[in-house]
Amino acid sequence: MATLYQEQSHNVWKTGFLMAMFFAIVILIGWGVSWYYDSSIILYVAVGFSILMNFGSYWFSDKLVLSMTKARPATREEFFDLYTVTENMAITAGLPMPKLYVINDPAPNAFATGRNEKHAVVVATTGLVAMMNRQELEGVIAHELSHVKNKDMLVMTVAVVLAGFIAIIADIFLRMSMFGGNRDNDKGGALVVVVAIVGAILAPIAAQLIQLAVSRRREFLADASGALLTRYPEGLASALQKIGSYSSPMKSANHATAHLFIGNPFGAKSGTWINKLFSTHPPVEERIARLLGK
């Protein structure tokens, strides 16, 4: 079984792999479009863009995710229990106090983001804060701080940004190819077909990058690590039960950020095949059973 330090190293490696894959895909598409339009400047723009996005995904991905989820800063005065629980759990975990944000949503859920321990952010919904007792809240926060310590949040957050931009870039280049260029019609027509095929397969590839970046093992590890922090696995187990049984989806639920959350943001009744296909969380019942040693 892999040690915690091996898991941390593996997550750093996966982040580098995602960035390298993003760089390669953008350069490949840029080369194809520059050949089609007989303009090397497009390739240079693609190189510059991919470097800029890799840099941005590392330094600013947390801000993008906070914007996507409509999170706002949580003050100590407004969310005293959330703030003090996080403060105590951070001390117990030997971590700096993360920034705290909340999402105005009745569905109970939470996630962590940020590039490292010093720039970590923990986000909880107002529904989670209202629904959990203190022991359950401690379990959830300990789970999220375990993601911080395990460096899960880095690879999860970078995956959101890079995979999303791959899909956007593919769509832009596909639309560009529809308006002709400097090549002859036969070659242009052939390229339209090729680009259309590439565009069609890039969307699922982008989704698969997210799937490869995260794993069900990461949730089990964070559950176990969180239980060790609180010394009370029943608290997290009870919190997971409440989160897993909540039927309504979050207002801002989407597949791009779903893997960040502690529970399924689409709700307990999200039984469609597409939600199951993109599910990166193990069944709640299995997580609870492991926590309680059943």
- Which positions are catalytic? 144
Count of CB atoms situated within 10 Å of the CB of 1: 4
Residues 33-66 as b or e (16 or more Cβ within 10 Å = b): bbbbbeeeebbeebeebbeebbeebbeebbebbb
Do residues 241 and 226 make contact, with C-beta atoms less than 8 angstroms apart?
no
The span from the CA of 191 to the CA of 193, in Å, is 5
Name the burial class of residue 86, with classes exposed (0-12), middle (13-18) and buried (19+) by CB atoms within 10 angstroms of its CB.
buried
Tokens found for residue 96: 């700096």
Q: How many CB atoms lie within 10 A of CB 87?
A: 15
Q: Could you tell me the two tokens for 14?
A: 């996966």
Euclidean distance between CA atoms 253 and 263, whole angstroms = 11
- 138 φψ region: left (φ > 0), alpha (ψ -120 to 50), beta (else): alpha
